[in-house]
């Protein structure tokens, strides 16, 4: 029996050393994963709420990624340690595989939502406070997690959208916004006089310090958009800070009406058009009225 003790001692020492190596490798991998996950964090470039929120979102994503990767590393380490001490890991792997398949089938929508949320955060598509258009929903983002986006629409309704369902998202709060103002001029009004009056109204708006700070470009007189026997339609373009295009357009229409009244020019109509409707509206002509017998 004494001859077997050295063998048992050597075998035990070998197993312990093997387990120690597995443990050290797992710890080293976890430290590496922690460093790599921190690279996903995008520090805020300023003190604005949107930038602070985006930093917190990337930090949450980094922590979630590290948590999942760390669990995988330790699971592999435990299975390897079981094999080292003579316990077959195959039954545990089979059980884990069956459980994993059940979870995947039951939570495939959840996984898709989380992956979609990761793309939204990493690609900085939008953050809390941005005005967005997602499908038929237009509103301000009130909450953003890895699983869902919550938007407050124009009706005041709180709309919850699963991130996995988002295929196209338009951010209306980035860089600048734009609108077009169309003015219908009566056919008896000289076009040169109407154009000069519109340019005067646009120039006054550009010079006004109360409004110029919200302007990025324009208002610019683009010229005659369309004409027929009833009116000539002249288009102006204005580019503003994000989400300021509506109030700038209203102020521009007010100044145009006042300038036309000063010049004695009859005003048929001043309307605001979205770019998506410009071609359809430009090509539309009024139908001829039917003559009565």
Tokens encoding 3: 């001859």
**Tell me: the pLDDT tens digits for 9-65?**
667 777 778 888 888 888 898 888 888 888 877 776 666 666 666 677 777 777 777
Q: What's the rounded Cα separation, in Å, for the pair 52 and 137?
A: 25
**Tell me, what's the pLDDT at 201?**
92
Q: Among 162, 178, 56, 158, which Cα is nearest to 109's?
A: 162
Tokens encoding 43: 């520090």
Q: Among 259, 265, 261, 268, which Cα is nearest to 233's?
A: 268
Quick count: other Cβ atoms within 10 Å of Cβ 17? Answer: 11
Q: What's the rounded Cα separation, in Å, for the pair 177 and 197?
A: 25
pTM of the model: 0.57
**Tell me: the pLDDT tens digits for 273-286?**
444 444 444 444 44
Using an 8 Å Cβ cutoff, are 176 and 216 in contact?
Answer: yes
Q: What's the rounded Cα separation, in Å, for the pair 141 and 96?
A: 39
**Tell me: the pLDDT tens digits for 127-176?**
888 889 998 899 999 888 888 899 999 899 999 999 999 989 998 888 88
Q: Is the pLDDT of residue 95 over 70?
A: yes
| Burial environment of residue 24 by CB neighbours within 10 A (0 to 12, 13 to 18, 19 or more) | exposed
**Tell me: the pLDDT tens digits for 195-242?**
999 999 999 999 998 898 889 888 999 989 998 888 889 999 999 988
């Amino acid at each position: 029996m004494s001859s077997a003790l050295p063998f048992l001692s050597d075998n035990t020492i070998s197993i312990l050393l093997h387990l120690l190596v597995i443990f050290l490798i797992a710890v080293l991998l976890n430290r590496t994963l922690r460093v790599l996950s921190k690279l996903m964090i995008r520090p805020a470039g300023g003190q604005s709420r949107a930038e602070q929120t985006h930093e917190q979102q990337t930090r949450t994503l980094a922590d979630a990624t590290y948590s999942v990767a760390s669990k995988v590393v330790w699971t592999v380490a435990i299975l390897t340690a079981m094999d080292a001490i003579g316990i077959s890991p195959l039954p545990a792997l089979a059980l884990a595989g069956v459980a994993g398949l059940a979870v995947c089938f039951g939570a495939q929508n959840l996984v898709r939502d989380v992956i979609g949320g990761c793309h939204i955060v990493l690609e900085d598509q939008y953050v809390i406070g941005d005005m967005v258009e997602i499908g038929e929903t237009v509103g301000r983002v009130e909450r953003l997690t890895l699983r869902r986006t919550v938007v407050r629409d124009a009706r005041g309704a709180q709309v919850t959208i699963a991130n996995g369902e988002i295929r196209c998202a338009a951010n209306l709060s980035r860089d600048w916004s734009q609108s077009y103002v169309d003015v219908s001029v009566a056919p008896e009004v000289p076009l040169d006089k109407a154009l000069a009056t519109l340019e005067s109204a646009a120039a006054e708006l550009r010079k006004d310090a109360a409004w110029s700070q919200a302007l990025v470009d324009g208002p610019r007189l683009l010229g005659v958009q369309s004409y027929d026997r009833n009116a000539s339609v002249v288009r102006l373009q204005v580019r503003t800070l994000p989400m300021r295009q509506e109030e700038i357009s209203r102020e521009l229409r007010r100044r145009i009406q006042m300038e036309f009244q000063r010049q004695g020019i009859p005003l048929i109509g001043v309307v605001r058009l979205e770019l998506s409707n410009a071609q359809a509206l430009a090509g539309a002509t009024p139908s001829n009225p039917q003559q009565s017998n």
